[in-house]
Structure 1
Amino acid sequence: MKTMKTLFLFVGMLVSSLVSAQDYDVSTTPPEIPDCECEDYYQMYAPLCLSLERQRQLDESDPSGLFYEYEKELARLAKADLNKDGEELFIKKINKYVTTCSKKMICDTAVIKKEQIDMLKVAVAVRDWEFIERGVTIYKWPLNDIGPIDQMTILDFIYNDIEYYRSNRPNDTTVADLKKMYLLIKNAGGKHNKFKP
């Protein structure tokens, strides 16, 4: 179990160099992937949102084979089991779920006090770069959903943060991380809605 958890984290941390669309072709839907059942109301995703905000790690003895609470909650929603499915099918199940349900997977955050933002925006707000890299590169998270309140895509959201830091904290090292995520998302097909840089 520990070996599988270590392998999964290693893949997640080095996703940009070890995983490609060719390695995991998420465009196919084998019969093992169940139909997705999105929650009826976005508030039903509160446990997932809060677990991402808090970035709590699971105990090493947790049988799921995962590292973070948010991974376990996402796997539950997608009916994915890393131990039973294996890594490739696990990833395909997560991809199908987030592709189908991303527009409903929005958060009223408790810690960072933002209303109705999607999961990738939450990850930016709490500076969880690993979640973003995995979401974009492995799980193929939809990148052009527009927030119901802020009217921003994830690319707009990061651009807005970059401009804030440029004006108020130009020497902050966070700017470099934000720029890296901006390019990652743009190169993966992310587009602007609110801003036209």
Structure 2
Amino acid sequence: MAGALAAGCDETRPETRSGQSDDRRSSPAERTTPPTASPDPLAVARRDLAAAQEGYYQAYIGAVASPGDRGRIRRLLSVYTTESPARVVMAARIKGLADRRLAGRAGPDGYYVVERVDVTSLPPRGEATTTVCTYDDGVLYDAARKGPDGQEIVVNDEIESARTRFLWVQQKGAWKLRGGDVVKTWEGGNRCPAKASG
């Protein structure tokens, strides 16, 4: 690779009769723009997977917050491959919330951390696994009724941490979720690594 990038870098310009380099043979852009390296495909894949993971997280939080909103449901389901059994399970889960007139709200301290990204094959036929730890301090509540005191009726406010392995594949130029498995859960507290600042 160094040979390909270095090609032409050591050439000297022919001297003119006056002893000056003949800069007329190259354009100003060629004289002033240094060569740029191609981006590392693995680094690009990891960056794109982190963005896909964030897209999934935001779409999930949005759909749970308003499980009757078809636009939010479509956005969440669009993160999955069309043939994914996990997509069917997620659709049923969100429908179950809507049927029971429940909704969820992210907690003030909840977050996730991508602990590991394993790219087994690069795009365009990419396959990868992300290992994610999620701290969930959210609340599931009755979206249709209030309690006698006028406050929301909380159905579930248990705090939990979970480590999940997500399976990603490239489909039509984008990383799509094929499925995932919960590897471990912890009840009652945050067992995830600290979220990176910034």
TM-score range, shorter chain: under 0.3
Larger Rg: 2
* TM-score, scaled to structure 1: 0.25
* TM-score, scaled to structure 2: 0.25
**Whose helix proportion is higher, 1 or 2?**
1
**Whose strand proportion is higher, 1 or 2?**
2
